[in-house]
A and B are shown apart, each in its own frame.
Chain A
């Protein structure tokens, strides 16, 4: 498999012993800032201001996102919503934020419906590898956690949101444990905490290199057992409102049955996640199949402001080879325990544990300046020397602590204990998103947002392990806020969309439709026109009875 790269690998093997104990190259703060300004994709000058909506004429944002924000709705013009399903709380999104909100609402007595584009748990959460941050050691504190994340975010974080996030860390871990999540321990039985890029003290708790899988499978189980009704394979197409600035529900496209479904709700929680599948500037992504930023589009049409959407995280170590794994994540935790990054000359060029945006920029610089490695498929990358870990920490370390990595590469005949891995930055995380307050409320009545779809808490660069914490903390906060401030049910309409369309016409905008729903490469056809007969007010053939009663929970023993 790696025959084409043997001369590089020889070079790496020769220098491994000598390198293994060396300190990484140090850069000054100015050098780091310059590296970012010159090489980080956020600064590639391919951004433009969006022309419509709450962010109109503001900070330039990636053009791929601007195009989608300006695009027309997928809903046919003559579509009129009529209640097919009624619920108190509608959660849109089946990842960690949506699931933890559903669990928090379990004992509220409210009727909760969780709708998701794929299946419950098919989300970026399940793909998270390295861990979750929480200040639980005696040398640590939520203040120190805050300071690390604030410096990592270049001081551009929403201070109130970040303070609340860090303070909620220990209690959140406790909550996960009460649900049955297992975290790695040291031989003495204490919980193992690793360093991540930019942590000043070891703070990252993990379950091997599959922390997101451990958390998501436990949350998914708990949600299934809670009896919360689910609408799986339902893509949110548009939010509904009452014409007086209150969100009152949403329209979904049931992909399996090819029908439109309107849900009336007293509160809507957007937990739709990120947008890596937009593949900004042609970058590959570590994100799941459905990460197309749909929540941003839906909230924006309701008048929500988007915060920090000019900044995205490119994870330094996305896979470059083999081609089948292109873009997939190689966890930062592997650098925490000593993996080194090397250029084509077999030399280290960056401190592997500095901030993600700095490491990613440094890798791009090496490639731009001709010190990268080209794969047979034409991708570029630099080496991540994983065998050095076995040399330093003893044989078996990788298999034991990184079973996911060893398994994935093993499928392609690459053994990370023997051979280095080729990596290049991959589009990983949406730093910005819908503006929220401390309770997860958006600026629009009836609409809450939590997790990656919201923005501001991580500033311009998120630290490892802070998004798993974010989705849980803010998923639960939003659920509590919804319980305490549930608006009365109100009419279903599309007046926000109608104003948006009128504004589009005024500005002469044309072009595509959004939300995108799936990766462009997947070529999923979405045509809702034929689904709506001209004279019908409701889109589904639901009887009055089923339209007004609660949704049946699925049989847990089926």
Chain B
């Protein structure tokens, strides 16, 4: 198949790219890897934030350069966002505690920029409104896929920090959970000892044989 060459402009420089590749890979090929910060190149670390504008007039906006395919005539502007700490989580979180940690909580003017900026399609503004009324379980769910690129915070005119608050809510709710640790009864300790003794046979061949048997049964 013939590969189509595409022209795009990144930070003021025109480069050529292959159809179907992402902005990041186009930058690598052009020797411009340093133009946009890169972390995972897989859409989960949030390092490669950019804004894009399309030649055909379709809506552009904020993007992750590692997930955004190149297009003819596209313009790309690096838009790095500094990472900041989100504040200490609190057990049994409520709106007052959230507001204390994030004084700008109620400054949201419902402009919707944050939702438009989110590369993960999180309903950010709606979630901020849910934060204001303490619907934390829903907020926690909203921010499940948040990669903390920081774009929602960077575009907010009113210094609301949606993703930081999302993190605060998720951690605060998560901190209450725990697993049932297996109780170290005398019987359990004895069983553990004898099973390890069985599994850790000195003879390597015997050890593998025993492990094969043990994994199926779960006991000696």
In the complex, which residues of chain A have a beta carbon less than 8 angstroms from the beta carbon of B216? 200
Q: Which of A177, A182, A207, A329 contacts B179 (CB 8 A)?
A: A177
Among the listed B144, B199, B212, which residue makes an inter-chain contact with A146, where contact means beta carbons less than 8 Å apart?
B199
Say yes or no for A453: interface residue by CB 8 A criterion: no
Query: Would B40 and A126 count as touching, CB distance under 8 A?
Result: yes
Which among B120, B173, B215 is the interface contact of A182 at CB below 8 angstroms? B173
Tell me the bound Cα distance from A212 to B40 in angstroms. 12
State the B residues within 8 Å of A (CB): 1, 20-22, 25, 28-29, 31, 33-34, 37-45, 47, 67, 69, 82-89, 120-121, 140, 144-148, 167, 170-175, 177-182, 192, 195-196, 199-200, 204, 207-208, 210-212, 214-216, 218
Instruction: State whether the Cβ of A408 lies closer than 8 Å to any Cβ in chain B.
Output: yes
Which of chain B's residues have a CB closer than 8 A to the CB of A221?
A: 85-86, 167, 171
The CA of A145 and the CA of B162, in the complex, are separated in Å by: 40
List chain A positions with a Cβ less than 8 A from chain B: 118-123, 126-127, 136, 138-144, 146-148, 150-151, 154-155, 159, 163, 170-171, 173-174, 177-183, 191, 200-201, 207-208, 210, 212-213, 217-218, 220-221, 224-225, 255, 286, 288-290, 322-324, 328-329, 376-378, 403-404, 407-408, 411-412, 518-519, 521-524, 556-558
Distance to closest chain A CB from B188 (angstroms): 9
Q: Which residues of A contact B172 (CB under 8 A)?
A: 180
Assess whether A146 is in contact with B211, with CB atoms less than 8 Å apart: yes
Q: Is the CB of B211 within 8 A of A288?
A: no
Instruction: Tell me the smallest distance from the CB of A327 to a CB of chain B, in Å.
Output: 9
Q: Give Cα distance in the complex from A300 to B195, angstroms.
A: 37
Contact across chains for B83 and A120 when beta carbons are under 8 A apart: yes
Do A155 and B211 have beta carbons less than 8 Å apart? Answer: yes
Please tell me if the beta carbons of B200 and A159 are within 8 angstroms of each other in the complex.
yes
Contact present for A170 and B41 (CB under 8 Å) = no
**In the complex, A188 Cα to B145 Cα: how many Å?**
23
Q: With the chains together, A522 CA to B40 CA distance in Å?
A: 13
In the complex, are the beta carbons of B31 and A523 less than 8 A apart? yes
**Which residues of chain A have C-beta atoms less than 8 A from B140's C-beta?**
182
Known contacts being A143-B196, A408-B43, is A518 close to B214, with CB within 8 Å?
no
> In whole angstroms, how far apart are the Cα atoms of A212 and B38 in the complex?
18
How far, in whole Å, are A558 and B31 apart by their CA atoms in the complex?
32
Is there contact, CB below 8 Å, between B41 and A289?
yes
Pick from B21, B85, B215: contact of A147, CB under 8 Å: B215
Q: How far is the CA of A123 from the CA of B47 in the complex (A)?
A: 11
A522 CA to B27 CA in the complex, in Å? 8
Neighbour of A288 across the interface among B41, B171, B174, CB < 8 A: B41
B42-A328 in contact (CB<8A)? yes
Given contacts A151-B215, A225-B85, A225-B88, contact A182 B167 (CB under 8 A): no
Q: Of residues B29, B39, B170, B204, which shows the largest number of chain A Cβ atoms within 10 Å of its Cβ? A: B39
Instruction: Tell me, rounded to whole Å, the shortest Cβ–Cβ distance linking B207 to chain A.
Output: 7
Q: Is the CB of A407 within 8 A of B145?
A: yes
**From residue B91, how far is it (CB to closest CB) to chain A in Å?**
10
Which residues in B have their C-beta under 8 angstroms from that of A378?
1
Among A136, A143, A178, A412, point to the contact of B175 (Cβ < 8 A): A178
The 10 closest A-B pairs by CB, nearest first: A180-B171, A122-B39, A155-B208, A224-B85, A147-B215, A180-B174, A147-B211, A182-B174, A200-B215, A522-B33
Nearest Cβ distance between residue B201 and chain A, in whole angstroms? 10
Give A376 to B19 CA distance when docked, in angstroms: 12
Additional 20 contacts, C-beta under 8 A, given A147-B212, A220-B148, A556-B85: A118-B39, A119-B45, A119-B47, A136-B180, A143-B214, A144-B218, A155-B211, A159-B200, A177-B174, A177-B177, A182-B170, A182-B174, A221-B171, A288-B42, A324-B20, A324-B67, A328-B42, A377-B20, A408-B43, A557-B84
22 example contacts (A-B, Cβ-Cβ < 8 A) are as follows A122-B40, A122-B45, A126-B40, A127-B42, A127-B45, A141-B182, A144-B214, A151-B208, A155-B204, A155-B211, A159-B207, A173-B179, A181-B174, A200-B218, A217-B147, A217-B167, A218-B171, A288-B41, A324-B25, A328-B42, A407-B43, A408-B67
The DSSP consensus for interface residues of chain B is loop
Inter-chain contact B204/A208, CB cutoff 8 Å: no
A141 contacts B192, CB within 8 Å? yes
Given known pairs A120-B83, A558-B84, the reply for A404 and B44 (CB within 8 Å) is yes
Report the minimum CB–CB distance from A328 to chain B (whole Å): 5
B40 contact set on A, CB distance < 8 A = 122-123, 126-127, 288-289
Q: Chain B: which residue is nearest A288 at the CB level?
A: B40
Q: What is the minimal beta-carbon distance from A137 to any residue of chain B, in angstroms?
A: 9
- Measured CA separation A461–B42 after assembly (Å): 24
Known: A170-B181, A225-B88. A210 touches B39 (CB 8 A): no
Cβ contact within 8 Å between B218 and A179: no
| CB-based contact A403/B170 at 8 Å | no
Contact of A174 among B170, B179, B218 (CB under 8 A): B179
- A328 to chain B: closest residue by CB: B42
Q: Is there contact, CB below 8 Å, between A519 and B28? A: yes
CB-based contact A163/B200 at 8 Å: yes
Residues of A within 8 A of B179 (CB): 136, 170, 173-174, 177, 191
B residues in contact with A524, CB < 8 Å: 33-34
Q: Which residues of A contact B204 (CB under 8 A)?
A: 155
Nearest A residue (CB) for B196: A143
**A207→B171 CA distance, assembly (Å):** 13
Contact A324 B85 (CB under 8 A): no
With both chains docked as a complex, state the minimum distance between the C-beta of B80 and any C-beta of chain A, in angstroms: 10
The CA of A508 and the CA of B175, in the complex, are separated in Å by: 58
Which partner residue on chain B sits nearest A230 by CB separation? B83
When chains A and B are docked, how far (Å) is the Cα of A322 from the Cα of B25? 14
| Structural contact, B167 and A323, CB atoms closer than 8 A | no
Assembled-state Cα–Cα distance A518/B170 (Å): 34
Q: Give the chain B neighbours of A324 by CB distance below 8 A.
A: 20-22, 25, 67, 69
User: Are the CB atoms of B171 and A174 closer together than 8 Å?
Assistant: no
Closest beta carbon of chain A to B120's beta carbon, Å:
7
Residue of A nearest to B182 (CB): A170
Residue of B nearest to A519 (CB): B28
Between B21, B144, B179, the greatest number of chain A beta carbons within 10 A of the residue's beta carbon is seen for B179
A556 with B20, Cβ < 8 A, contacts A136-B180, A177-B177 known: no
Q: Are B83 and A143 in contact (CB under 8 A)?
A: no
When the two chains form their complex, are residues A289 and B167 in contact, meaning their CB atoms are under 8 A apart?
no
Q: Which residue of chain B lies nearest to A227 when distances are taken between CB atoms in the complex?
A: B85
